[in-house]
Amino acid sequence: MSSMAVLKKGRLSSALRRRFRDYYGSIEGVNQNYVDIKWKRWLEFPDITTYTASKDGRQAAWIVYDPRSSMIEEILTRSKDQGVDLLPDVVDALIARESLVAAEILEADRERYRWMVAYGFRPTRSYSADGLSFLKMDLSTAVYFQRHQQRGPARTYGRRERVAVERVPATQTQDEIKRSLENLIDRLGGIERFVKPGAKALIKPNVVADHGMKDGIYTGGVVTDIRLVRALIELLLPVAGSITVAEGSSINRSETGRMFAHYGYDRLADMDRKVRVVDLNTDRLVEKPVPAGKRMASRKVPVTIAEADTIINLPVLKIHFAAGVSLAIKNLQGAMPPLEKYMSHFFGLWQNLVNIHRLIKPTLSIIDGLTGQEDFGPVSGTPKQMNVLIGGTNPVAVDAVAMRIMGLDPTLSPPVLLAYLQGLGPIEPEKIQVVGAAIDEVASPFKQPELNLQSGRDITIHAVDACNGCRGYLHFTINKLRRPDPLETTRLLIDRPFEPKVNIFLGPSTPTRIDPRETNLFMGICQQHHAGLGTHLPGCPPHAEVIMNGIFRLFPDVERPKYADETEEAKLEKMLKEVLESEGRGEQSQRGLGPTLDSNY
């Protein structure tokens, strides 16, 4: 990789305007009105930032950037004699400063499309304005990690965070759990530091699915242990004016109430008149703008969360087959309403998990490590008794400590890594003060899931450079094909003969030539530029339902497995299409934007 360019804030100069006019004067179908309209709009918005880029001590390019939407509005070399080869280095410099970015380009600008796709941008949506067609180009998160992970955060995290680790006796009586929880909170400053007298306190546990009960007995590691929730409520009662236990189940979203009853959460309200239990999937919503507009401009947040004075995030110490782990950062996905959960996958799950934390800002995160879950979590793994609680005010630092206790490098979890790179918190040991038990004293390696992406007879999986998000969700689906084929029980479904052959592409790299005569499935934003050559499965990573729908269409005689309530998921898909269509881009976005083989892109 060549050295980055050096960026310096500049201005909308006359030299830039002349180059702007000159560049678009050479693109067929673009008149000067486009240049004048865009220039005027830039002048009207003081947040628009102009950068001059230098390379090897010489001025090389300009970037016009909108920090409100993390959008590259324009990028130009200083003169038409300079080739576009230097522009990737200029983009590197911007991304090192601004993290995950997008770009708006004219559909007619084929040269820019080509080099941006080569860099790692993908055409996620198309729209029209002022009589011209535009593409929104989103940077692949996998490419961002590949190019920038080793460089670290754009800005040095300014303080040292404290994370408390507290042992719990193996007998785990209610009194022992409460005493250990109180010790942990005291190590962080005491309950009064986090909850003011009369405050509205909200507890966000993890109540994801009913898998945690076996023959009426809770096995642990799937949902937040109700004994820990009870202990926390007892500590809050003398101080808080009200205590709300709030969750929106991510699987079978209409059944949060049944999950509450299944685990006894519905009886928590009997503890005191100040305690109530709320299903966030049915709550009223308030819309909040996303800082820097990364992937989504705004999110709708349940009003119960928006009105809380103190939010205590209470996840479980467990593995997640796609996110690496499901800890403090991942747990707030359950705080969003059903359509927002679905949209998170469509627009970019990892980025939207970071966005949620910037909007909700939990006061305290305490990980339930009474019993964790290893192997194929977050619901189908193996319980692992750990007898530990982990807590702190910074979710990234808490997750980093928890992952090291699990024997994992914090950078192995895409949402934790992205949150770190975007400055939400530190993962470096020297920037985290661990109080209470030392990590080595309580550490016990968690078994990680084995992701099997082995191809079938006529189904070939191409997963070069794919992140564990797409790999994990594809494994979840493909694994359901590793069973006897009802047409011929001596073979597996994945080995059923197909003519033409089937290809599944995921990840940003495609070294294999794509044959349009074959049946091609393209997964995620990373492969969206190839959508015209087959069927695109949208998302980052695509939702499990999207992948199952795409793959099981190849097997019309086989009943499709259910990930969640089919009616609910179909309803959410319809709602998402309506949202996109209201923005004038729905059908194209669902179909996928990308070149066909005979295209000039």
Instruction: Check whether 588 has a pLDDT greater than 90.
Output: no
Topology match between the domains 6-139 and 161-442 = no
Confidence tier at 567 by pLDDT (50, 70, 90) = low
User: Could you read off the pLDDT of 137-186 as tens digits, one per residue?
Assistant: 999 999 999 999 888 898 889 899 999 999 999 999 999 999 999 999 99
What does the longest C-alpha to C-alpha distance in the chain come to?
A: 76
Phi, psi values for residue 586, rounded to 5°: -60, -55
Confidence tier at 84 by pLDDT (50, 70, 90) = confident
CB atoms within 10 A of CB 51: 20
Residue 274: the pLDDT is 98
Query: What is the mean predicted confidence (pLDDT) over 558-578?
Result: 71
For residue 186, give Cα distances in angstroms to 240, 362, 400, 402, 425: 17, 18, 21, 19, 22
Q: Residue 593: is it exposed, middle or buried by C-beta count within 10 angstroms (0-12/13-18/19+)?
A: buried
Confidence tier at 88 by pLDDT (50, 70, 90) = very high
Residue 358: the pLDDT is 96
Enumerate residues 6+ apart whose C-beta is below 8 A from 462. Answer: 503, 504, 505, 506, 507, 510, 512
Does residue 527 contact residue 514 with C-beta atoms inside 8 Å? no
Phi, psi values for residue 591, rounded to 5°: -70, -30
Task: Give the end-to-end CA distance of the chain in Å, rounded to a whole number.
Answer: 25
- CA–CA dist 261, 297 (Å, integer): 36
Does residue 247 contact residue 261 with C-beta atoms inside 8 Å? no
CATH fold of the domain at 161-442 = Rossmann fold (3.40.50)
Residue 595: the pLDDT is 33
The yes/no answer on whether domain 6-139 falls in CATH 3.40.630.30 is yes
Per DSSP, the three-state class of 187 is helix
The CATH number of the structural domain formed by 459-591 is 3.40.50
User: Could you read off the pLDDT of 269-315 as tens digits, one per residue?
Assistant: 999 999 999 999 999 999 999 999 999 999 999 999 999 999 999 99
pTM, two decimal places: 0.94
User: Could you read off the pLDDT of 438-491 as tens digits, one per residue?
Assistant: 999 999 999 999 999 999 999 999 999 999 999 999 999 999 999 999 999 999
DSSP 496: -
- For the chain, the structural domain boundaries read 6-139, 161-442, 459-591
DSSP 428: -
Instruction: Check whether 594 has a pLDDT greater than 80.
Output: no
Instruction: Check whether 569 has a pLDDT greater than 80.
Output: no
Residue 156: the pLDDT is 85
